[in-house]
Amino acid sequence: MYLSKQDIQSMQKVERLNLINSLSGVKPANLIGTKNQNGNENLAIFSSVVHLGSNPALFGFILRPQGEVRRHTHENIISSGVYTINFVTTDFIQNAHYTSAKFDSTTNEFEKSELTPMYIDHYYAPFVKESPIKMGLQFVEEIPIKSNGTTLMVGQVEHVLMPDGTLNDNGHLDLGTLNIAGISGLNTYYSLSKKDRFPYVRKNFSLEDLKSY
Amino acid sequence: MYLSKQDIQSMQKVERLNLINSLSGVKPANLIGTKNQNGNENLAIFSSVVHLGSNPALFGFILRPQGEVRRHTHENIISSGVYTINFVTTDFIQNAHYTSAKFDSTTNEFEKSELTPMYIDHYYAPFVKESPIKMGLQFVEEIPIKSNGTTLMVGQVEHVLMPDGTLNDNGHLDLGTLNIAGISGLNTYYSLSKKDRFPYVRKNFSLEDLKSY
C-alpha cells in the first residue's frame, strides 16, 4: 500500500490525525504535573517526551500550538519553573487517558482522574503517587518550531523517584517488569515485553557476534 | 529510591547514560536511511523520532552534537534534502542494532547489517526493504538546541509504504500485529502488545464511562 503527500493531505482530519500519530511508532506514556501560582494543580498526558542528553540530564517534550492542555501546562511551567514527568503503567491507563479531557483551569485533573498528587520537600510541582517512576525537572528553555507553531520544552532532571531495586545492572530500568505503558497514535495503549539487550557495538564486533550474543 | 541531580552527576558515565536514556520510557526503534552525493548509502538506528504535527505531516528527530552517526546522516540530509524513516521489527533487531557501529563514510551499513536497500521512482533516499512501514521525508528545517548542542531535525512526510490491510479503522496501525519493536535506554528492545484503545475524551464523558468502554 502506498500513500503520497497528496493522499495524506486529502484524508479526513481524524483519519489523518490517527495515521500520522501512529507513524511515529510506540511512544512513552507520561503524565506531566504542574501547579499554578494560586496552588491549582494541573495534570496532562503526553506522548512526546524525548531524551536530549545525559550530562546534563535533559528531556524535551512537544507542546501543540494552542488549546487548553498547552495553555495550562505552559503557563504553569513558565511561572513556577518546574514540572514533573511521571510514567504511566498499564494499571492506570484509563485514569491517565482521562486527563486528556478539556477541563477549565480551576478543575483539578488529579481529582477528576482519581490520581493522587504527591510532594517532596522544597519542590513546587506535584508528582503522581501511582506512578512507579517519577522525575522532577527544572525548566531550561522553550524552542519554537517554526514549521508548524509547536514548541519544544526543555528541562533538566533534578529529582528521580523509583521503587527500590528498580535500577538493574549498569543503570538500566526494566520497563516491562514495572508494567510501563507505551502509546501509539493518540489513544492506543501497549504493554511491553523485553526481547533482548545488546552490548555497545564496537568496531571489531561482527553481526554474527551480535546475533549469538 | 531517590536520586538527586547531584547523585546523577556523580554517577559513572555508562551508568548515567543508561539511566537517563531509560528514563525517557519506551521509544520507537527506527532506521534512518540517507545517500550522499557520490551515491554512498547510509543507515543508522535512532530512537528519538517524535511526532510534531499531522497537517502538514511533520516528524522530528534528535541528532547528537558530534560523532560519525551524526556527521554522515546530517551531511546526507542537508546535501540531498531527503531521508527515510523505517520501522524496526522484532524480526531484525540484531541487524538494526548493528548499524550503531562506527563505520567510516565509504562503508555501506546496509551491507554490513545484512539489510536491503529499496528505492521508489523519483526519490533519492534508500528505504529498508525488511521494514514493514517505511516513510520518505523531505527535510524542512534544523533547530539547534542550545542547552546541550543537539539538533532537532524536522521533515515532512512525502511517501508512506506499508503492507496492504495494515491501516485499521480510522487510520490506526496495530504496532503489535506488525511486530514493531520499541527501545528503552540505548540497547534494550521490547515487543509490544495492544492493551486498550480509548475514545477521544469529551466533556460530558466521565471516568466511569472510560473504564467501562
Which residues of B36-187 form beta strands (DSSP E)? Answer: 41-46, 50-54, 57-63, 82-87, 117-118, 127-128, 134-145, 150-161, 181-184
Residue B185, in any domain of the structure? yes
How many CA atoms lie within 13 Å of B77's alpha carbon, on the beta-carbon side? Answer: 28
Rounded CA gap, B82 and A137, in Å?
35
What three-state secondary structure class fits B197?
A: strand
Domain that holds residue A43: 25-164+173-211
Which residues between 41 and 70 in chain B have a beta carbon less than 8 angstroms from any beta carbon of chain A? 47-60, 62, 64
Residue B142, in any domain of the structure? yes
Burial of B79 (0-12, 13-18, 19+ CB in 10 A): middle
Residue whose C-alpha cell reads 558515565 in the numeric block: B13
- Residue A26 is classified by DSSP as S
Per CB-CB distance under 8 Å, the chain A contacts of B161 are 1-2
Residue B14, in any domain of the structure? no
Q: Which of B26, B144, B89 is nearest to A47 (CA)?
A: B26
Rounded CA gap, A34 and A31, in Å?
10
A11, A48, A50, A204: which to substitute to probe chain B, counting the most B Cβ within 10 Å?
Answer: A50
Position A203 scores a pLDDT of 75
> pTM above the 0.90 mark?
yes
Per CB-CB distance under 8 Å, the chain B contacts of A30 are 25
Rounded CA gap, A101 and A121, in Å?
30
B31, B63, B112, B184: which to substitute to probe chain A, counting the most A Cβ within 10 Å?
Answer: B184
Position A68 scores a pLDDT of 63
Position B158 scores a pLDDT of 98
Query: How many domains does the structure of chain B reveal?
Result: 1
- Residue B173 is classified by DSSP as B
Q: Does B10 touch chain A (CB under 8 A)?
A: no
Contact at CB, A193 and B198, closer than 8 angstroms: no
Position A69 scores a pLDDT of 65
What is the arithmetic mean of pLDDT over B5-27?
93
- A85 within 8 A of A30, measured Cβ to Cβ: yes
A191, A205, A208, A209: which to substitute to probe chain B, counting the most B Cβ within 10 Å?
Answer: A191
Per CB-CB distance under 8 Å, the chain A contacts of B48 are 50-51
Over 70: is that where the pLDDT of B69 sits?
Answer: no
Band (B110; pLDDT cuts 50, 70, 90): very high
Size of interface A-B (CB pairs under 8 A): 364
- A93 within 8 A of B210, measured Cβ to Cβ: no
CATH code of residue B200: 2.30.110.10
Q: Is the peptide bond before A56 cis (omega within 30 degrees of 0)?
A: yes
Residue A3, in any domain of the structure? no
- pLDDT tens by residue, chain A, 213 residues: 999 999 999 999 989 999 999 998 999 999 999 999 999 999 999 999 999 999 999 999 999 987 666 788 999 999 999 999 999 999 999 999 999 888 877 889 999 999 999 999 999 999 999 999 999 999 999 999 999 999 999 999 999 999 998 888 788 888 888 999 999 988 899 999 999 988 888 878 889 988 887
Residue B6, in any domain of the structure? no
How many CA atoms lie within 13 Å of B203's alpha carbon, on the beta-carbon side? Answer: 5
A45, A59, A89, A173: which to substitute to probe chain B, counting the most B Cβ within 10 Å?
Answer: A173
Residue B120, in any domain of the structure? yes
Q: Which of A66-80, B3-17, B112-126, B130-144 has the lowest mean pLDDT?
A: A66-80
Contact at CB, B150 and A114, closer than 8 angstroms: no
Over 70: is that where the pLDDT of B68 sits?
Answer: no
Q: Of the candidates A52, A157, A195, which has its C-beta nearest B150's C-beta?
A: A52
- A207 within 8 A of B211, measured Cβ to Cβ: no
Per CB-CB distance under 8 Å, the chain A contacts of B185 are 171-173
Q: Does B209 touch chain A (CB under 8 A)?
A: no
Rounded CA gap, A133 and A180, in Å?
9
How is residue B110 written as a grid cell?
546496509
Predicted ipTM of the assembly: 0.94
Residue B12, in any domain of the structure? no
Which residues between 142 and 181 in chain B have a beta carbon less than 8 angstroms from any beta carbon of chain A? 143, 145-148, 150, 152, 154, 156-167, 170-176, 180-181
User: In this predicted model, what pLDDT tens digit does every residue of B157-211 receive, in sequence order?
Assistant: 999 999 998 888 788 888 888 999 999 988 899 999 999 988 888 878 889 988 8
Amino acid identity of B134?
K
Contact at CB, A23 and B51, closer than 8 angstroms: yes
* B34 phi, psi to nearest 5 deg: -140, 170
What three-state secondary structure class fits B53?
A: strand
Gap from B63 CA to chain A (nearest CA, Å): 9
Over 80: is that where the pLDDT of B95 sits?
Answer: yes
